[in-house]
């Protein structure tokens, strides 16, 4: 039987960053598979983005995340949905990178939103449910959004000479 290929990805040249990001996605997926093969409950480690897990690096003069993490487990009923969503976002980003495509965060939401086969359950109910999962994948992979081939759409951005008048106050930016 002939090997099925994706024509969109046949002509894609991956950058060094693309290869690094794909490697991180594969490592994450491999860890999930290895846990399952060992008969252990699959999980994903997500760095904690809470205020208690940040510190100010005096020498660099920046705020850095600490080493605190949380587990997102498949067989934990309260985490199963977010576990599935995390892997779904990782898979979606992998496809974008391999195909040499980029989309907005909202575009990824619509790309991944569907009814799970055999159920009435949606993968994501709203964009607001998807956004923090994307951020979790960013920190789990230590990758910037752009390295996942995603961007935030600049809705409402203005360019050029503009004068704003608010309650009699005038701001003139040339």
Residues with a known catalytic role: 110
The tokens describing 72, both together, are 């997102």
Element housing 54 (H / E): strand 54-57
The pairing of strands 69-73 and 43-47 is: antiparallel
Q: What are phi and psi of 112, to 5 degrees?
A: -95, -15
Alpha carbons within 13 A on the beta-carbon side of 12: 19
Give the C-alpha separation, 19 to 8, whole Å. 17
Question: Dmax of the chain from CA atoms?
Answer: 74
Contact 20, 138 (CB under 8 A): no
b/e map 38-50, b = 16+ CB within 10 Å: eeeebbbebbeee
Measure the CA–CA gap between 90 and 111, rounded to whole angstroms.
Answer: 12
């Amino acid at each position: 039987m002939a090997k099925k290929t994706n024509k969109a990805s046949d002509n894609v040249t991956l950058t060094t960053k693309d290869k690094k990001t794909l490697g991180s996605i594969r490592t994450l997926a491999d860890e999930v598979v290895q846990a399952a093969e060992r008969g252990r409950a699959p999980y994903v480690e997500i760095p904690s983005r809470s205020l208690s897990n940040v510190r100010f690096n005096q020498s660099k003069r920046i705020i850095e995340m600490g080493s605190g993490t949380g587990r997102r487990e498949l067989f934990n009923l309260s985490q199963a949905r977010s576990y599935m969503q995390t892997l779904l976002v990782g898979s979606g980003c992998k496809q974008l990178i391999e195909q040499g495509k980029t989309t907005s965060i909202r575009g990824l939401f619509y790309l991944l939103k569907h009814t799970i086969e055999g159920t009435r359950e949606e993968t994501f109910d709203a964009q607001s449910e998807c956004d923090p999962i994307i951020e979790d994948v960013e920190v789990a992979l230590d990758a910037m959004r752009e390295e996942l081939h995603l961007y935030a759409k600049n809705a409402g951005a203005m360019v050029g000479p503009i004068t704003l008048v608010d309650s009699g106050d005038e701001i003139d930016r040339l």
